[in-house]
Chain A
Amino acid sequence: MALCDRIIGNGVGAKAVVAITGLMLTGFVMAHLSGNLLVFAGPEAFNKYAAGLKSLGGILWVARLGLLGIFILHLGLAIRLNLENKAARPQKYVNEATMEATFASRYMVQTGLLLFAFIIYHLAHYTFRVASDDVNAVPAEDVYGMVIAGFSNPIVSGFYVLAMAALAMHLKHGVSSAFQSLGIYHPNLNVVTQKLGPIIAAIVFVGFASIPVSVLMGCIK
């Protein structure tokens, strides 16, 4: 179909799909973060929230499959675009300068792939419970206990914090860039859209990293 070809088949269209799916994933990340911060409200509140999610049953699976679809679209198209970009300059500059491109913008694929590795590990760690004996020793209903058990290991916590740094970098460029990809550019809006990436990146990093760090420092137990 022509419309499908114009959107998926073309760089400008595919970039818009990467932008929309990226913003949807960002929305998920923000929702996930606000749920997770309930660990600071104590075991009861957190476990009640987790049980509430699980009781959604069928709806939860629809949401999970939807998220997986969005994720595959995002990652698949982003990688295809990146391969096209690499092929577009077979001979590198001997002396290459960077005038405007930010560090975050130049390592989107690397931070993205690190996120991919993290997501696999994260699901194995807490969702499928196949990565850590400490976590598996806690009953599946006690999600709070799983979090404490998992993050008591400094290496595990370190990897989580590193992954959140990658996520923050990805979003610092990605969120602001998504608006440009979607053609949203206006002097009145740019003040917001250009700062949104860095702001969301900071919230996501501080918010998520605070949990393993608090466990390690014994602030929550």
Chain B
Amino acid sequence: MDLTLHVWRQKNSKSDGHMEIVEAKDVSEHSSFLEMLDVVNENLLGQGKEPIAFDHDCREGICGACSLVINGEPHGPEYGTTTCQLHMRSFKSGQHVYIEPWRARALPVLKDLIVDRTSFDRIQQAGGFVSSNTGSPQDANALPIPKPDADKAFDAAVCIGCGACAAACKNASPMLFVAAKVSQLAILPQGKPERERRVLAMVDQMKKEGFGNCTNQYECEAACPKEISVEHIARMNREYFRAAILEEPEKQGHGGD
């Protein structure tokens, strides 16, 4: 199939970007979206032009490195699928395909389609961990966890931190990401000791990074390649109110040292 790509090209974080038309000829419908871009880049290199820069790593939907807003939808038109797992059979020959980077003040473009996602790292570092002294592993059954709790925590833990939620949100809010990280640990006994500190610090960091606020439009849930539910956002809201009242002010922020 032949496609007309409209690709965001931007030299670096300082320069202004623009959309550029690139023709993709003879694309195999069996190739993935990133493989299609690989072929396009080979051709661009052959013509002495600069290839399109994009993020990727595992290419099997588990690392969270790939991104791309394809025709307005983060990770493209296929529900619950990362861009690396998106196949070209989802497109029709002759189609115009718009490819843009995640757009948020807190996710600035570094080059073309690559954005700086260290704001997500800083949110995670603010509280998305449990502190424990390591030693020999304890008996697996020493800490009983009800199956429904384990399942709920797992539903949140599948978050790969790709940033699609913030990219899809009309307000550039990464609430689904933050909520998944808070929720996953709030449900499990291992997360209890730092429960209040964690949610306050992570929500505070989200604000500091300059992300927007949730308005419950659920674009994030529709875009999430891991199909994480906005139920976790409600849980994070509950966790936040609880902690805002319970946590003594001076203790906040002593978490990770």
B222 surroundings in chain A (CB, below 8 A): 99-100
Which chain A residues in 13-36 approach chain B with CB under 8 Å?
13-16
In the bound complex, do residue A180 and residue B230 qualify as a contact, i.e. CB atoms below 8 Å apart?
A: yes
Chain A-chain B contacts (Cβ-Cβ < 8 Å), number: 135
Which has the most chain A C-beta neighbours within 10 Å: B200, B222, B240?
A: B240
CA distance A217 to B96 in the complex (A): 53
Judge whether B114 is part of the interface by a CB distance below 8 angstroms.
Answer: no
CA distance A73 to B103 in the complex (A): 31
In the bound complex, do residue A105 and residue B217 qualify as a contact, i.e. CB atoms below 8 Å apart?
A: yes
In the bound complex, do residue B211 and residue A177 qualify as a contact, i.e. CB atoms below 8 Å apart?
A: no
In the bound complex, do residue B234 and residue A92 qualify as a contact, i.e. CB atoms below 8 Å apart?
A: no
In the bound complex, do residue B172 and residue A89 qualify as a contact, i.e. CB atoms below 8 Å apart?
A: yes
The 8 A CB mask of B124-139 against A (1 = contact, 0 = none) is: 0000000000000000
In the bound complex, do residue B103 and residue A183 qualify as a contact, i.e. CB atoms below 8 Å apart?
A: no
Residue in B73, B106, B206, B237 whose CB lies within 8 Å of A182: B237
Residue in A12, A84, A177 whose CB lies within 8 Å of B216: A177
What's the minimum C-beta distance from B224 to chain A, rounded to whole angstroms? 11
Which has the most chain A C-beta neighbours within 10 Å: B19, B212, B239?
A: B212
Judge whether A2 is part of the interface by a CB distance below 8 angstroms.
Answer: yes
In the bound complex, do residue A89 and residue B235 qualify as a contact, i.e. CB atoms below 8 Å apart?
A: no
Judge whether B30 is part of the interface by a CB distance below 8 angstroms.
Answer: no
CA distance A91 to B207 in the complex (A): 19
Main secondary structure of the interface of B (DSSP, over half): mixed
CA distance A6 to B237 in the complex (A): 12
B207 surroundings in chain A (CB, below 8 A): 10-11
Residue in A97, A105, A177 whose CB lies within 8 Å of B73: A97
Q: How many residues of chain B get a CB closer than 8 Å to chain A's CBs?
A: 51
In the bound complex, do residue B237 and residue A91 qualify as a contact, i.e. CB atoms below 8 Å apart?
A: no
A183 surroundings in chain B (CB, below 8 A): 234-241
Known A91-B103, A101-B170, A184-B234; contact A85-B71, beta-carbon cutoff 8 A: no
CA distance A182 to B171 in the complex (A): 19
A12 surroundings in chain B (CB, below 8 A): 203, 213-214, 236-237, 240
B58 surroundings in chain A (CB, below 8 A): none
CA distance A183 to B71 in the complex (A): 32
Which chain B residues in 1-52 approach chain A with CB under 8 Å?
6, 8, 19
In the bound complex, do residue A97 and residue B72 qualify as a contact, i.e. CB atoms below 8 Å apart?
A: yes
CA distance A99 to B169 in the complex (A): 10
In the bound complex, do residue B237 and residue A106 qualify as a contact, i.e. CB atoms below 8 Å apart?
A: no
Judge whether A52 is part of the interface by a CB distance below 8 angstroms.
Answer: no
CA distance A167 to B170 in the complex (A): 22
B245 surroundings in chain A (CB, below 8 A): 3
- Chain B residues engaging chain A, CB cutoff 8 angstroms: 6, 8, 19, 69, 71-73, 98, 100, 103-106, 168, 170-173, 200, 203-204, 206-207, 210-219, 221-223, 230-231, 233-241, 244-245, 249, 252
A-B contact pairs, 28 of them (CB 8 A): A2-B249, A3-B245, A6-B240, A6-B244, A7-B244, A11-B212, A12-B213, A84-B213, A85-B173, A86-B212, A88-B104, A88-B172, A89-B104, A94-B19, A95-B71, A96-B72, A99-B168, A100-B221, A101-B170, A102-B217, A105-B216, A108-B215, A177-B216, A180-B230, A181-B237, A183-B237, A183-B240, A185-B235
Sorted nearest first, the 7 A-B pairs with minimum C-beta distance are A97-B72, A185-B234, A88-B212, A183-B238, A85-B171, A11-B213, A101-B217
- Chain A residues engaging chain B, CB cutoff 8 angstroms: 2-3, 6-7, 10-16, 81, 84-102, 105-106, 108, 173, 176-177, 180-185
